[in-house]
A and B are shown apart, each in its own frame.
Chain A
């Protein structure tokens, strides 16, 4: 077994109303960042876990996302990083 550090991004599914993202975008516009077209507010999770290899860590994380970490109805997840802890 090896210890891995896995980073996961969870974001609201595109097309769904994201009032938090809109509020942040409005605030950025107020600050003069007119270039901002849209903002989506999600979650960033960092897990430390034991797995035989990086592929095992990745597949375990995918299952965790499907069962708990992300809501399949409203959110998309992306495993951003799998590295040695």
Chain B
């Protein structure tokens, strides 16, 4: 299975994503240059974290109109999986692959910490390796992660099972401080209505090696592998 990882000017998690796919998952990965119009036969596209185009205008806004995004949007339109992580989630929203937007953290602080998430939907192609309600720990590192959408969109996301990950309290985090950015309804990750585009602020690709802590992100990549191979 082949993963295509887009490198935008200012991407800084493309290498992490590459290592997660190649070293931890044992699959093939290629970098896709933002100016190209070729996915090189990728089965899955990863929009990685970083600060594409310096986050000028709005986080993800300029990257969403990069040349490669035409092919990424077509790939998504054909039902191809797209994984947007952190800045990639912002880009996916700006490209309208996902509803809503990510705004400045309510605290106005850049948050860099391991965070507890609850898996809300384990029936997606990204999360079948988890169990519903499972608490996992992944790192977050962002300044613009406050998921926002109008009430109707939020209700629809909840009703259709599109909320995949939510920030959740655990025994170490106080009830009122578990949500790192003020996201509406504690949303950390959502899938598209068709289920083939996942956007999430936390970084599964940075949690795939036990050397670096709990490898809770690996199951996400394994889920994708299982789904595409099936």
Contact = CB atoms under 8 A, between A and B. Distances in A.
Interface of A: 12, 16-17, 19-20, 23, 43, 68-69, 71, 73-74
A20 B146 CA distance: 13
Contacts of A23: 108
Contact of B94 (A12, A16, A20, A71): A71
B225 interface: no
Interface of B: 57-58, 61-62, 65, 93-94, 99-101, 103-108, 146, 148-150, 182
B106 A17 contact: yes
Contact of B101 (A17, A20, A68, A73): A73
Q: Tell me if B's interface is mostly helix, strand, loop or mixed.
A: loop
9 contacts: A17-B103, A19-B108, A20-B104, A20-B108, A68-B65, A69-B57, A73-B100, A73-B150, A74-B103
Nearest to A70: B58
A17 B182 contact: yes
Contacts of B57: 43, 68-69
A75 to B, nearest CB: 8
Contacts of A68: 57, 61-62, 65
